[in-house]
Structure 1
Amino acid sequence: MLRVALSQSKKMQIEDLRVVLFNFIMAKKLNEKLLIRIEDADKNKNIEGLDKQNLEILNLFSIDYSNVLYQSDNLKYHQKLTMQLMAQKKAFACFCSDEKLEELEKKANQEGKPYKYDGFCEKLSNETILEVNAPFTVRIKKPESNIKFTDLLKGNFDYSALDLDSFIILNHDKTPLNDYACAIDDMIQDISLIVRNENDISNTARQIYIRQSLGYDKQIDYIHLPNILNTNLDNEENSVQCLIEQGFLPVAIANYLVLLGNKTPTEIFTLEEAIEWFEIKNISTNTIKFDIDKLKIINRKHLALIDELRLSKLLGFADTDIGKLGKLYLEESFTLKEIKEKIDLIFSKKLTCKGFENETKDIITCLQNAPFIDNFDDLKEYITKNTNLKDESLSSPLKYVLTGQNSGPDLKEIYPLIKNYIGEIVKC
């Protein structure tokens, strides 16, 4: 069983989606189920409706999963197992105030040392604890020996007791910290492989230690993907939802994220094709960089491959000719949104072509009264006959009237694809 942890407090980012994609691929390769876990234990940070939005994104990428579980549903287990750890003297109540902990951290910084908990509350007697009438957190005692594990991509890791320290597992309000909740949830859900980001490696060590403290001895394998370097990736404007709104196809985004830092047999592929040849050993262990320009190129190639009728529907029509028209604009466009802007210009109300104001009016009037004309050369001949316009006095304003701009593909290529819409294009 594999799992994907989706946050209820932040929109899905590029790195989050990349983790989802690799979990999905590995689940298919191993013929294992994939479940989705919504991390919603921290009620103060949860954003209403974000879980549904993130699940809709997974559906856009054709990520199928066996079940959706909410972390908060396991709260009773998080608390029950905390009591077990405390009864076994493997965890303890910590009454230290935030001010005291900030003071310890400040002192450590001044001395140039890493901040570590001083262990004061660990030494309190049961009698003293009973006499204290104050809120407390629960800390797990730091390990007595090193925590070692092997990452299937990056190799061996070794964390000392000082690295882990006596960390908090339960907040003042008795809700679990994320590492603690994840460790227990992975136990309950019998997870066998976890694919996550490189910056979660220290969290992995904590979670392994939590499970060991609870007597859980099943080995969970880990794959930590290299981080994506891009200072803008945490911005909302660079969320997966925003990329989709900008006109990037899900198939292209998935293609790029699987390609990124990976040896692949071909540059352009679908997720289904990637499942066939994917191997962990081909992923680079080096930090990688998100390149929006590369994504644009890949997106353009997928737009060129898409069925014309489907492209037409994505553009708001149901006409193969509009799909073909959209592909004409791929010479100057990279995304669905950019193509749609070109199509929208064609159907927008035309004002005037600069330098050809009178000619523009004459052409619009002529086309409003024209019969259906199948051939572009016949169209030009008809306009010339009824307006006496020719050469640039005809070509420039006609280009503007039919496309809403002065550049772009040749009208001889465009006209056969829009001839059925001339009445709508030259409407008042």
Structure 2
Amino acid sequence: ADTDKEHNIEGKDTEIMQILEKFAIERDLVYHQSEHLNIHQTLAIRLLQEGKAFICECVSQSRCKGTCETLNAEGYQSLKAQGNPFVIRLKQSSDAPEIDSVLIMRTDNTPTHTFASACDDMLSNIDTIIETEEQLNDMPLQRHIKAMLGYDEPTHCVALPTLSNSEDVSIQWLFEEGFIPDAILNYLLLLGNSHVPQEIFTLPEAIEWFNLDAVSRNDVRLDIEKLRLINREHLKMMDDKTLSKLFGFADADIGRLAKVYLDAFSTLKELDTKIKRIFAPKNFDNAWGESMRTLESIIMEAPAFDDFNALVQHITQTSTLTEEQLDTPLRLLLTGEETGPELWTIYPYIKSYLLEVAS
């Protein structure tokens, strides 16, 4: 709707296309309303010629003051010659007396969003429109516009529930916070839908049972904690190698490593922080620094161990550290943190990177 300059957000169209791609939603056609500007203008002129619309000088009013409908062709030419601003409005119709002098073309010769949408839907023969209740409020006017243009094909409108507490939340924000498309889709399809066979599902599964008519029109609230739980389950279901690619790897072991942290965390953003700390250069400037240096030296010279307990045994035999004494410095050396999952659950997935990790 880029003809509505007041509300048009630069770059929003690109963002929407990128979001659709992330959800793997195919589109048949993409166009900007401005691409049909000449068609909108032609249709508005047609309504003028047919006496269904009129030139109006009341450009700053929501309705005509009541004197412009009598403006004849000579008066119209005079307005143009003098450069006086004017708009085009619909005339009141006996078929819809409540629709009176509605604006359809602005002073800059661009259409209103409602008029452009009605024209575009008519030209594309759109038969179903899915919006929130609020956004469907102007559908009676759009139907009236299409009827005045001679289009009488029915349009089925479906109202979706409105998120009542989503002022500061957008799909893009959810992505940035580490929620994945499958989980977001899963959560959104649950909203207002009482006919759901299971709480966790994929899009192909949902296509088998989803029914728009079963969705409640009542407002719903966004529950981030519920979304986090769903996101965690979808991350668990994700292919290990695919998951690793989201952290810059192509190794199933890194995907499995990330899943170890899903007992406590639930978003890509949180998991990415953990993975980065494991592979980041370690800080030896702390109370455990000396022990960490000792462990680093031992690990750099040690043979490769498949089993974590074998590595620990080698360290205790090579150093003066007991198992109890090496727990915290070894954890800091391998994960960059003093707390976290048991090291034996992490080791199988980092052993191939041990020389990189332990430094």
Deviation string 1:246-275 (CA, Å, 9 cap, x unpaired) is 211111111111111112111111122111
Where does residue 184 of structure 2 map in the other structure? 253
3-state DSSP class of the match of 2:231? helix
Q: Is the 8 A contact 2:298 2:315 kept in 1?
A: yes
Structure 1 residue 71 displacement after superposition: 1.8
Moved more, 295-304 or 63-72: 63-72
Structure 1 residue 167 displacement after superposition: 1.4
TM-score by length of 1: 0.78
Where does residue 93 of structure 1 map in the other structure? 55
3-state DSSP class of the match of 1:118? coil
Q: Amino acid of the residue matched to residue 182 of structure 1? A: S
Structure 1 residue 294 displacement after superposition: 1.3
Structure 1 residue 117 displacement after superposition: 4.5
Where does residue 270 of structure 2 map in the other structure? 338
Where does residue 195 of structure 1 map in the other structure? 130
Deviation string 1:216-266 (CA, Å, 9 cap, x unpaired) is 111111112121111524xxxx33223212211111111111111112111
Structure 1 residue 124 displacement after superposition: 3.6
Q: CA RMSD in A?
A: 2.0
Structure 1 residue 215 displacement after superposition: 1.6
Deviation string 1:299-339 (CA, Å, 9 cap, x unpaired) is 00100111111111222111111111111000111111211
Deviation string 1:140-163 (CA, Å, 9 cap, x unpaired) is 1233344xxxxxxxxxxxxxx44x
Where does residue 302 of structure 1 map in the other structure? 234
Find out whether 1:142 has 2:92 as its counterpart.
yes
Task: Give the Cα–Cα distance (whole angstroms) in 2 for the partners of residues 240 and 246 of structure 1.
Answer: 10
3-state DSSP class of the match of 2:138? helix
Q: Amino acid of the residue matched to residue 360 of structure 1? A: M
3-state DSSP class of the match of 2:331? helix
**Long gaps (5+) in structure 1:** 1-38, 102-114, 147-160
Where does residue 26 of structure 1 map in the other structure? none
Find out whether 1:122 has 2:53 as its counterpart.
no
Q: Is the 8 A contact 1:353 1:400 kept in 2?
A: no
Task: Give the Cα–Cα distance (whole angstroms) in 1 for the partners of residues 48 and 143 of structure 2.
Answer: 18
Q: Is the 8 A contact 1:138 1:169 kept in 2?
A: yes
Task: Give the Cα–Cα distance (whole angstroms) in 2 for the partners of residues 387 and 141 of structure 1.
Answer: 93
Task: Give the Cα–Cα distance (whole angstroms) in 1 for the partners of residues 155 and 178 of structure 2.
Answer: 38
Q: Is the 8 A contact 2:257 2:349 kept in 1?
A: yes
Q: Is the 8 A contact 2:59 2:85 kept in 1?
A: no
Q: Is the 8 A contact 1:356 1:393 kept in 2?
A: no
| Number of aligned residues | 355
Mapping for residues 42-53 of structure 1, pairs under 5 Å: 42=4, 46=8, 49-53=11-15
Where does residue 206 of structure 1 map in the other structure? 141
For residues 231 and 65 of structure 1, do their structure 2 counterparts lie closer, same or farther at Cα, with a shift above 3 Å needed? closer
Mapping for residues 314-329 of structure 1, pairs under 5 Å: 314-329=246-261
Where does residue 55 of structure 1 map in the other structure? 17
Find out whether 1:228 has 2:159 as its counterpart.
no
Mapping for residues 340-379 of structure 1, pairs under 5 Å: 340-352=272-284, 354-379=286-311
TM-score by length of 2: 0.92
For residues 119 and 352 of structure 1, do their structure 2 counterparts lie closer, same or farther at Cα, with a shift above 3 Å needed? farther
Task: Give the Cα–Cα distance (whole angstroms) in 1 for the partners of residues 161 and 279 of structure 2.
Answer: 46
Q: Amino acid of the residue matched to residue 138 of structure 1? A: I
Task: Give the Cα–Cα distance (whole angstroms) in 1 for the partners of residues 177 and 164 of structure 2.
Answer: 21
Q: Amino acid of the residue matched to residue 109 of structure 2? A: K
Task: Give the Cα–Cα distance (whole angstroms) in 2 for the partners of residues 266 and 87 of structure 1.
Answer: 57
Percent identical among aligned pairs is 41
Find out whether 1:70 has 2:49 as its counterpart.
no
Task: Give the Cα–Cα distance (whole angstroms) in 2 for the partners of residues 268 and 185 of structure 1.
Answer: 37
Q: Is the 8 A contact 1:71 1:181 kept in 2?
A: yes
Task: Give the Cα–Cα distance (whole angstroms) in 2 for the partners of residues 97 and 61 of structure 1.
Answer: 43
Q: Amino acid of the residue matched to residue 140 of structure 1? A: L
Moved more, 214-223 or 367-376: 367-376
Deviation string 1:380-417 (CA, Å, 9 cap, x unpaired) is 11211222111432111111111111111101111111
Q: Is the 8 A contact 2:126 2:155 kept in 1?
A: yes
Task: Give the Cα–Cα distance (whole angstroms) in 1 for the partners of residues 167 and 154 of structure 2.
Answer: 36
Task: Give the Cα–Cα distance (whole angstroms) in 2 for the partners of residues 285 and 426 of structure 1.
Answer: 55
Q: Is the 8 A contact 1:252 1:302 kept in 2?
A: yes
Task: Give the Cα–Cα distance (whole angstroms) in 2 for the partners of residues 117 and 137 of structure 1.
Answer: 10
Q: Amino acid of the residue matched to residue 350 of structure 2? A: I
Structure 1 residue 291 displacement after superposition: 1.6
Q: Is the 8 A contact 1:93 1:138 kept in 2?
A: yes
Mapping for residues 11-22 of structure 1, pairs under 5 Å: none
For residues 243 and 116 of structure 1, do their structure 2 counterparts lie closer, same or farther at Cα, with a shift above 3 Å needed? same
Q: Is the 8 A contact 2:40 2:111 kept in 1?
A: yes
Find out whether 1:219 has 2:143 as its counterpart.
no
Q: Is the 8 A contact 2:244 2:250 kept in 1?
A: yes
Which structure's relative contact order is higher, taking Cα pairs within 8 Å and 6+ residues apart? 1
Q: Amino acid of the residue matched to residue 346 of structure 2? A: I
**Long gaps (5+) in structure 2:** none
For residues 225 and 76 of structure 1, do their structure 2 counterparts lie closer, same or farther at Cα, with a shift above 3 Å needed? same
Choose which of 178, 184, 188 in structure 1 pairs with 2:113.
178
Structure 1 residue 48 displacement after superposition: 5.1
For residues 44 and 283 of structure 1, do their structure 2 counterparts lie closer, same or farther at Cα, with a shift above 3 Å needed? closer
Moved more, 397-406 or 363-372: 363-372
